Amino acid sequence: MATDVDAMFARLRAGERRALAQAISLVERGGDAARALLARTYLHTGHAHVVGVTGPPGAGKSTLVAALAQEWRRQGKTVGIIAVDPSSPFTGGAVLGDRIRMQSLGGDSGVFIRSMASRGRLGGLGRATADAANLLDAAGFDIVLIETVGAGQGEVDIARAAQSTIVVEVPGMGDDVQSIKAGMLEIADLFVVNKADREGADQVLRQLRAMLHLAMPEADAWEVPVLKAVAMQQQGSAEIVAGLAQHRDYLTRSGQGRQRARAAAERELSAAVQELILERVQGPQWQHLVDAVSARQSDPYSAAIALLQNLGERDTLQV
């Protein structure tokens, strides 16, 4: 197995697209080989600008992602895109719409697009996405774009994986959008009002600016820009790309980039500990204790302690 991983790592670093696709599939599945690959690639990460794109359904995120990718390509930068589909962990299914919408980028070797679904890997979609972003980073992409649908914990996880997060809004959403926006205020490094040729765009723009003003950041904080776009007609992309570059400069200048990187490292380490320990305890005793907990003969914590106390042969742990 070590040889396979060595070979895949070498091909990945050489920029082979097929190796990259295989590597992402491998980390989606998890296991020893996935960990070995991630351990090796991790030391070569930290170069890409990882950008998250989120917002409510219908905001045109995929179209915006495609427009931004084209703008970066014009500037000679390579772009890896991870599209996180609304998906079912119950069936492993995923909606293909986003992939289809990104066909315009299909023929460009400087763009790599991957659609991901939650397939029940330990730690869920957040982990698989962060791992895939690391692989794209190690494979040399200048920009890694992560697109996610919805409004909830998922966005927050993805915002944590990204250095810069774009929140996309559109005119004419329902009244509950207001409360969603409040939640999004905290994760947005940049707001984009997409479909800005529609009625009500200026109102959304004003609302967002008012909300940001109310949030009143400290004097030296990043001032979140609110930009307009009509992604379908390629309008606004250059300004957004410029805004993202400024945000990255700010992260470096202010020391916030280092803080975010450290928090990310802490999450990676926690996840690795959890993944390794869970694989270790799922031995013969596991099913028995699950039954006992299910029957309310034991509680989860007492059962967990029994498992951890019976853990022996710890020296066999290896990557």
CB nearer to its own copies: pick between 238 and 307: 307
Q: Does 302 bind its own copies (CB under 8 A)?
A: yes
The residues facing 206 across adjacent strands are none
Q: Does 140 bind its own copies (CB under 8 A)?
A: no
Distances (CA, A) of 25 to 5, 131, 161, 251: 13, 11, 19, 32
Q: One-letter amino acid identity for 195?
A: K
The site map against its own copies for 194-233 (x = CB under 8 A) is ----------------------------------------
| Sole binder of its own copies in the list 19, 48, 135, 289 (CB under 8 A) | 289
Helix (H, G, I), strand (E, B) or coil at 69: helix
Please list every residue from 60 through 119 that binds its own copies, using CB under 8 A.
85-91, 93, 95, 97, 118
Binding range to its own copies, per CB under 8 A, among 71-79, 196-204, 223-231, 296-304:
296-304
The site map against its own copies for 47-66 (x = CB under 8 A) is ---------xxx--------
Strands (DSSP E) found in the chain: 49-54, 79-84, 111-116, 143-148, 164-169, 190-193, 226-228
Nearest-approach distance from CB 265 to its own copies, in angstroms = 4
Give the pair of three-digit tokens for residue 145: 């774009």
Nearest-approach distance from CB 16 to its own copies, in angstroms = 22
Supply the DSSP symbol for 286.
H
Q: Which helix (H) or strand (E) holds 156?
A: helix 153-161
**Widest distance between CA atoms in the chain:** 66
CB nearer to its own copies: pick between 186 and 202: 186
Binding range to its own copies, per CB under 8 A, among 66-74, 231-239, 249-257, 307-315:
307-315
CB nearer to its own copies: pick between 242 and 299: 299
Binding range to its own copies, per CB under 8 A, among 8-16, 144-152, 228-236, 249-257:
144-152
Binding range to its own copies, per CB under 8 A, among 44-52, 71-79, 200-208, 230-238:
44-52
Binding range to its own copies, per CB under 8 A, among 72-80, 121-129, 197-205, 227-235:
121-129
Q: Does 294 bind its own copies (CB under 8 A)?
A: yes
Distances (CA, A) of 77 to 70, 72, 110, 142, 241: 9, 5, 8, 6, 11
| Sole binder of its own copies in the list 21, 182, 221, 245 (CB under 8 A) | 182
| Sole binder of its own copies in the list 140, 183, 200, 257 (CB under 8 A) | 183
Tell me the HSE value of 11 on the side-chain side, using a 13 A CA sphere. 15
Q: Does 6 bind its own copies (CB under 8 A)?
A: no
Calpha distance 289→15 (Å, rounded): 46
Q: What are phi and psi of 223, to 5 degrees?
A: -90, 110
Give the pair of three-digit tokens for residue 9: 């790592």
Residue among 124, 52, 61 nearest 87 (CA): 124
| Sole binder of its own copies in the list 17, 252, 274, 283 (CB under 8 A) | 274
| Sole binder of its own copies in the list 33, 156, 232, 238 (CB under 8 A) | 156
Hey, CA dihedral for 119, 26, 104, 106, is it positive or negative? negative
| Sole binder of its own copies in the list 71, 155, 169, 189 (CB under 8 A) | 155
Locus of tokens 């915002």: 159
Q: Does 265 bind its own copies (CB under 8 A)?
A: yes
Locus of tokens 């202010």: 254
